[in-house]
Amino acid sequence: MAALSFELAPVIAALPFVSFLIALLAGAFAPRLLPKGGAIPGIAATAGSLLLSAWAALAVWNSSEGVYHESITWVAGVGDAAFDLHFGILLDPLSTMMLVIVSLVAVLVHVFSLGYMNDEGETGLPRYYAGLGLFTASMLSFVFASNLLMAFMFFELVGLCSWLLIGFHFREPGPPSAAKKAFLVTRFGDYFFLVGVVGVFATFGTTAFAGSESFPHLAEQVLAGEASATTFLGLDPQAWFAVLGLLVLGGVVGKSAQYPLHTWLPDAMEGPTPVSALIHAATMVAAGVYLVARMYGFYALLPQVLAFIAFVGGFTALFAASMGVVKKELKQVLAYSTISQYGYMMLGLGAGGYVAATFHLMTHAFFKALLFLGAGSVIIAMHHNENMWDMGGLKEKMPVTYYAFLSGSLALAGIVPFSGFWSKDEVLYEALVHGLDSPLLLGAYAMGLLAVFFTGFYTFRMVALTFHGDPRTDTARDPHGVGWNVKLPLVVLGTLAAVAGLVNMVPVAELTGAHLEFLHDWLDAGPEALTAHHYGDLLPYSSGTIGTELTTVLLSAGVSLGLALAGAGLAWKLYAVADPDEHTDKLGSAKTVLFNNYYQDEYQVWIATGLTLPLARAADKFDQGVIDGVVNGVSSVSLLSGSRVKRIQSGVVTNYAFLLTASLVVLLVAIGLIGGWF
Amino acid sequence: MVYQLPPWAALAPTLLFVAVALVLFVIDSINPDTENRLLLAATATAGSLAAAGVSVWYLLAGTGEAPIRLFQNTLVVDTMSLFFAFVFASVTALVVVASYDYMRDHSYQAEYYALVALAASGMTLMPAANSLAVVFISLELSSLPSYALVAILKRNRGSVEAGLKYFLIGALSSSILAYGISLVYAVSGSLLLPQVAEAASVEGLTGVLGIGVLMVLGGFAFKTASVPFHFWAPEAYEGAPAPVSAFLSSASKAAGFAVAFRVFTVAFPVETYVQTAAASIDWVLAVQILAVVTMTLGNFAAATQDTVKRMLAYSSVGHAGYALIGLAALTGGNDQFVLGASMAHLLVYGFMNTGAFLFIALAEYWSVGRTFEDYNGLATRAPFACAAMTVFMFSLAGLPPFGGFASKYLLFAGAVGAGFWWLAAVGAINSALSLYYYSRVVKAMWIEEPSSEFAIESKPVGLYAAIAAAAVATVLLLPGFAPVWEYAQSAAAALVA
């Protein structure tokens, strides 16, 4: 049984790919035959993936090694120093958990799309569902990839699909430009990733994630002095591995929208809302963080890189949360909250909280998918008006959406006992205990902690403005109803957002001594080299405590809960009134800065136009003038000398005889002189 | 018990060509005014195909693995001679099939095919020659019919003039070769190649021997149309009937290389002639000079031509330069790779260059005209033939996915491997230049608008069949390059290993 479920693993990704092909081909040649524009094949395929993923997860749990690792060689190396390129599947607790999350969110997004796209009479549905199918297939393949190169290939496909889907409404001006931006900005990061992949190949001769021949394992041995590896730039192994880690991290920063490559994500809201849910909860953005978790055995060896990850994460969490405070549009708030939450995950990973970050990745997938789908439901109701100041009082009109959205919001804000509380608290706890000895980490922790307040504030500002108070427009007074296909995903996700945190209740476990850390056990179930326990041994951190361990846990949980409640309470007081004011106006010029996203876009555009463009012009001038000049010169010289050569061929046979004899004599004399015949 | 063929049967490819020539004579003497073109062409084709088949059979059966020495070691049949026999026989078959249509209105049909068969018999003898006397005779046996073939269009001034020039330059070159042989004989006292090799140790006569070696090289340079012995080539190729041009530029050139490979590796081995201080006769340097000059001059001149046939003539001079790398990159050790690469290139070249000239034959058959402009838009009327020509052009330029890519790549790789990276660099630059003029043809055929109506009345079966066969071979030689490479390597091993 277990073997079969593993054998079927490729089907997990193949099913959505088939639905992509069906939507693409049937959409092009027989659109009438395609039920619901491709939604039905998509739902069937992703549901199949979900079942198979769950089965694979069960099999991983039941198998003795806790892992399934198979690969095929698709390019065999030739020669001595060569290496093979592989496609492979690595199923371990981490990847199967992620497979379940991705396929679950994908199913729900497909179902929701029935309400958001089909019922709203959108055109181009086959294209939409084809994109969703390919997107899901790429992400699933990325998740079970057994090596870095394969991961990179599907990472890129994920990027391509996000471009296709964000730009779905390509006839409007906004979406194509947003799609282009998402593509280019993430590409900028992926460029470093690609260099990193090549570097890993050159250093270790393999990019496998797991096994005795995997690069994290080799790196561990090299640093322990048990093996040697090729390093470049004259760096010692530790420094060179850090360079490799940072290069790969470039792709992560781009995809997971970390500062300073986060600018594409808010613009990506131009895509259809279900796509935003998919991108932000389970696929594109999650890919970056997942990659770090996947090769955590490598990063755990590199203290500088870890500190960097943690600091970038903490900074991004605070930075994005502060911008979320002033946004007017529902999806914009959610976009900044996504950036901020992925910042937490990076903080967790950097602080050595592998389980904590993975936990947050999971809970975030549920509550953020929920919030986006809830926002989609509101947007349907509001006839595609996304401005929160035009809403208000929707609570009575759409109770299912309201309660589901509230569940997600409580999770996002980190209010006990919703899922986000447990995971975010664990991230912050890890940062705190490891940060007591490391000022840098403590700074990251402080930023993360401060961001909790902002998170609570913007979340409940959003809830209050959307659902509470009096309706501020006619649309809000008479919203459009939503169907079962919208409500069902909301109910499922609303439940999960509320209870998913119960799988790893660390504070409760500490308090009662009961064994409640199920996720931790799950992530420890795999092969030794991929377990949280092993990563814990590798990590360079020492833990400090404030008082006893129990007081530290409770203090950390208490402080973050208190801040979340304070932020939420302040927002509630200010905005959950019949007729709220724009209180953020009181921030004065600070609001302008926040509203303009700290002018991040402006400075990046300036870098592009003020720095890159002149540089490109100069390069072009060099290319046109020098390179082309040389090439043109060579060709004109060739033609000229060619015509000279032509003149030798005079047509007079006596000339030929003379030239022939003379050349032979010259050759004879030359060779004779060199050879010393005379 | 398995029946063992007598040793002389190893010469079967040569004997078959001789037999074909004699049969054609018989047919012609019975009925001198025969109008039965089909009978003549079919006889010649059957003979060529039989020769090619026998060569392949011998190669597969491993006949040449242990060299068969005949007539007191003056002839030797080994993998190398069989490999080249296959090249000549297949080119001859293509040429003969194409000639069926091309020569339709000409007189002297039987003589034409008989001369082709005789030249081919001389060519198949050349790689087997193990004595300088046989070298000279076989070379003349292939050259003399060629002079007549170039001039076979007796009423065409171009053809006759080209024939005469070819003959005069050929006579001069033959005299240089004969003189060279006599000088070598004077020092070595033997005409057998293995014994000539021992002449290097003769003290005090290095100059005489050196002049002899270089004059022999000159004689072969004439046959391979290498600069400065190439002057006949553009004129002869342009003036001759296009199938004859194909024959000369592919088979005859390859024969020159075949004999040069054997003579220079067996009679003048690098170890004793070049590297031993007592008798430094650096013919490798001379070949390097010839290779570079030939490549460069051939390609540069080809780039400025106005007529397609003359462009091809110069391009074939350029290709002689590439093939010379096989000799120019010899170092005395590990020579098998580059020598084999050169042989493989000659085989691929045999198909692609013959195909290209046969396309010219087709164009002449249709009276399309001679310049690049005359080919404008030809693809609209004859897409299949133009597609085949495109294959030949790109393969000659050395682009994948055609056979010319693999052979040229390995040839340059061999030169780099032997330490002569600059030879490969010159070759690569010339290849890049060659892409310019080859693509001119492709551009004219496919992209340009037709400037006038083509008077294409029929699609000649023989020409089309020959072109199609050459094109298929050119394409299939890339995926099927492995066996060619294997046999070329064992052919080279017969000489240097």
Closest partner residue to A671 (CB to CB) among B168, B176, B282 is B282
Say what the ipTM of the complex is. Answer: 0.86
A663 contacts on B by Cβ (under 8 Å): 227-228
Q: Which residues contact B399 (CB under 8 A, 6 or more apart)?
A: B405, B435
Give pLDDT, residue B356: 92
Q: In Å, how far is A671's CA from the nearest CA of chain B?
A: 7
Give pLDDT, residue A201: 86
Residue pair A675/B282 in contact (Cβ under 8 Å)? The answer is yes
Percent of chain B with pLDDT over 70: 98
Residue A305 has pLDDT above 50, yes or no: yes
The three-class DSSP label of residue A88 is strand
Q: Distance between CA B407 and CA B400 in Å, rounded?
A: 11
Query: Among residues B331, B141, B108, B100, which one has the least CA distance to residue B223?
Result: B141
User: Is residue B197 situated within a structural domain?
Assistant: yes
User: Looking up tokens 């929707």, which residue turns up?
Assistant: A394
Burial B112-151 (b: 16+ CB within 10 A, else e): bbbbbbbbbbbbbbbbbbbbbebbbbbbebbbbbbbbbbb
Residue A263 backbone phi and psi in degrees, to 5: -65, -20
Give pLDDT, residue A80: 63
Question: From the candidates A78, A641, A671, A673, which should be mutated to test the interface with B, based on the most B CB atoms within 10 A?
Answer: A671
Query: Among residues B476, B482, B217, which one has the least CA distance to residue B344?
Result: B482
Residue A442 has pLDDT above 50, yes or no: yes
Name every residue in A having a CB less than 8 A away from some CB of B: 635, 638-639, 641-643, 645-646, 649, 651, 653, 656-657, 659-661, 663-664, 667-668, 670-672, 674-678
Q: What is the dihedral of CA A36, A37, A39, A41, to 10 degrees?
A: 100
User: Is residue B434 situated within a structural domain?
Assistant: yes
Q: How far apart are the first and last CA of chain A?
A: 89
| B171, closest residue in chain A (CA to CA) | A657
Q: Distance between CA B242 and CA B94 in Å, rounded?
A: 12
Length of chain B: 497
Q: Distance between CA A324 and CA A455 in Å, rounded?
A: 8
Residue pair A42/A132 in contact (Cβ under 8 Å)? The answer is yes
- Which range (A54-58, A534-538, B52-56, B152-156) has the least confidence? A534-538
> Is the CB of residue B167 less than 8 Å away from at least one CB of chain A?
no
The three-class DSSP label of residue A314 is helix
Report which of residues A425 and A121 the model is more confident about: A425
Helix/strand/coil percent split, chain B, to 5 = 75, 0, 20
> Is the CB of residue B280 less than 8 Å away from at least one CB of chain A?
yes
User: Is residue B1 situated within a structural domain?
Assistant: no
Q: In Å, how far is B365's CA from the nearest CA of chain A?
A: 26
Which DSSP state fits A502?
A: G
Query: Among residues A290, A266, A258, A271, which one has the least CA distance to residue A122?
Result: A271
Residue B369 zone, left/alpha/beta (φ > 0; ψ -120 to 50; rest): left
Residue B403 has pLDDT above 70, yes or no: yes
Q: Distance between CA A608 and CA A580 in Å, rounded?
A: 40
Q: Distance between CA B431 and CA B435 in Å, rounded?
A: 6
DSSP sequence for B146-180:
HHHHHT--TT-HHHHHHHHHHHHHHHHHHHHHHHH
Give pLDDT, residue B145: 93
- B119 falls in which pLDDT band (50, 70, 90)? very high
Which DSSP state fits A212?
A: T
Mean pLDDT over A34-57 rounds to 85
H-helix segments, B189-205? 193-196
Report which of residues B342 and A67 the model is more confident about: B342
Q: Is the peptide bond before B13 cis (omega within 30 degrees of 0)?
A: no
Give pLDDT, residue B277: 52
Question: From the candidates B169, B276, B296, B300, which should be mutated to test the interface with A, based on the most A CB atoms within 10 A?
Answer: B300
Chain-wide mean pLDDT for chain A? 83
Per residue in B346-361, pLDDT (tens digit) is 999 999 999 999 999 8
Residue A266 backbone phi and psi in degrees, to 5: -60, -35
Per residue in A124-178, pLDDT (tens digit) is 888 888 888 999 999 999 998 888 888 999 989 988 888 888 888 888 888 888 8
- Do the Cβ atoms of B215 and A664 come within 8 Å? yes
- B118 falls in which pLDDT band (50, 70, 90)? very high
- A618 falls in which pLDDT band (50, 70, 90)? confident
Number of domains chain B is built from: 1
| B279, closest residue in chain A (CA to CA) | A675
**Alpha carbon B204 to chain centroid distance?**
37
Mean pLDDT over B360-387 rounds to 86
Q: What Cα–Cα distance (Å) separates residue A33 from each residue in A23, A25, A113, B41, B181?
A: 10, 11, 19, 61, 83
Closest partner residue to B210 (CB to CB) among A643, A657, A671 is A671
Q: Distance between CA A441 and CA A443 in Å, rounded?
A: 5
Report which of residues B420 and A586 the model is more confident about: B420
Chain-wide mean pLDDT for chain B? 87
Residue A531 zone, left/alpha/beta (φ > 0; ψ -120 to 50; rest): beta
User: Looking up tokens 């023989």, which residue turns up?
Assistant: B462
Residue pair A407/A369 in contact (Cβ under 8 Å)? The answer is no
Q: Which residues contact A296 (CB under 8 A, 6 or more apart)?
A: A216, A349, A354, A535
Residue A463 has pLDDT above 80, yes or no: yes
User: Is residue B248 situated within a structural domain?
Assistant: yes
How is residue A596 written in tokens? 């303009």
* C-beta atoms surrounding A557 within 10 Å: 24
Strand stretches in A58-106, DSSP E:
68-75, 85-91
Give pLDDT, residue B92: 93
What range defines the domain where residue B316 resides? 7-496
Give pLDDT, residue A302: 86
> Is the CB of residue B331 less than 8 Å away from at least one CB of chain A?
no
DSSP sequence for B400-427:
TTSHHHHHHHHHHHHHHHTT-HHHHHHH
Give pLDDT, residue B497: 64
Q: Distance between CA B120 and CA B95 in Å, rounded?
A: 11
Give pLDDT, residue B1: 46
Mean pLDDT over B118-122 rounds to 93
Residue pair B80/B261 in contact (Cβ under 8 Å)? The answer is yes
Sign of CA dihedral A104, A109, A115, A119: negative
* C-beta atoms surrounding A194 within 10 Å: 19
- Our CA angle for A152, A154, A157, nearest 5°, is 115
Query: Among residues A95, A215, A11, A217, which one has the least CA distance to residue A526?
Result: A95
Q: Distance between CA B221 and CA B215 in Å, rounded?
A: 9
User: Is residue B2 situated within a structural domain?
Assistant: no
User: Is residue B13 situated within a structural domain?
Assistant: yes
Mean pLDDT over B211-234 rounds to 89
Q: Distance between CA A653 and CA A642 in Å, rounded?
A: 21
| B289, closest residue in chain A (CA to CA) | A667
| B234, closest residue in chain A (CA to CA) | A649
Q: Distance between CA B349 and CA B326 in Å, rounded?
A: 14
Helix (H) or strand (E) holding A3, with range, is helix A2-7
Which range has highest mean pLDDT (A483-492, A638-647, B434-443)? B434-443
Per residue in A237-277, pLDDT (tens digit) is 888 888 889 999 988 888 888 888 888 888 888 888 888 88
How is residue A142 written in tokens? 């990325």
Give pLDDT, residue B353: 92
User: Looking up tokens 């081995």, which residue turns up?
Assistant: B269
User: Looking up tokens 């330029």, which residue turns up?
Assistant: B397
> Is the CB of residue B165 less than 8 Å away from at least one CB of chain A?
yes
Give pLDDT, residue A78: 65
The three-class DSSP label of residue B495 is helix
Residue B212 has pLDDT above 80, yes or no: yes
DSSP sequence for A409-452:
HHHHHT-TTSHHHHHHHHHHHHHHHHHTT-HHHHHHHHHHHHHH
Give pLDDT, residue A550: 79
Length of chain A: 678
How is residue A478 written in tokens? 């008479």
Residue B275 has pLDDT above 80, yes or no: no
Helix (H) or strand (E) holding A589, with range, is helix A589-595
Q: Is the peptide bond before A399 cis (omega within 30 degrees of 0)?
A: no
Sign of CA dihedral A254, A257, A261, A265: positive
Query: Among residues B248, B220, B226, which one has the least CA distance to residue B163?
Result: B248
Angle, helices B336-365/B461-476, rounded to nearest 10 degrees: 150
Q: Which amino acid is at B91?
A: V
| B225, closest residue in chain A (CA to CA) | A660
| B168, closest residue in chain A (CA to CA) | A653
Which range has highest mean pLDDT (A607-611, A641-645, B452-456)? A607-611
B167 contacts on A by Cβ (under 8 Å): none
User: Is residue B444 situated within a structural domain?
Assistant: yes
Query: Among residues B149, B145, B172, B144, which one has the least CA distance to residue B160?
Result: B149
Burial A464-473 (b: 16+ CB within 10 A, else e): bbbbbbebbe
- Our CA angle for A662, A666, A668, nearest 5°, is 115
Question: From the candidates A637, A649, A655, A658, which should be mutated to test the interface with B, based on the most B CB atoms within 10 A?
Answer: A649
Antiparallel, parallel or unpaired: β A68-75 and A85-91:
antiparallel
B206 contacts on A by Cβ (under 8 Å): 675, 677
Query: Among residues B268, B359, B383, B269, which one has the least CA distance to residue B311?
Result: B359
User: Looking up tokens 């996002």, which residue turns up?
Assistant: A412
Q: Which amino acid is at A219?
A: A
- A81 falls in which pLDDT band (50, 70, 90)? low
Residue A516 has pLDDT above 70, yes or no: yes
| A652, closest residue in chain B (CA to CA) | B165
DSSP sequence for A358-378:
HHHHHHHHHHHHHHHHHHHHH
Residue pair B376/B444 in contact (Cβ under 8 Å)? The answer is yes
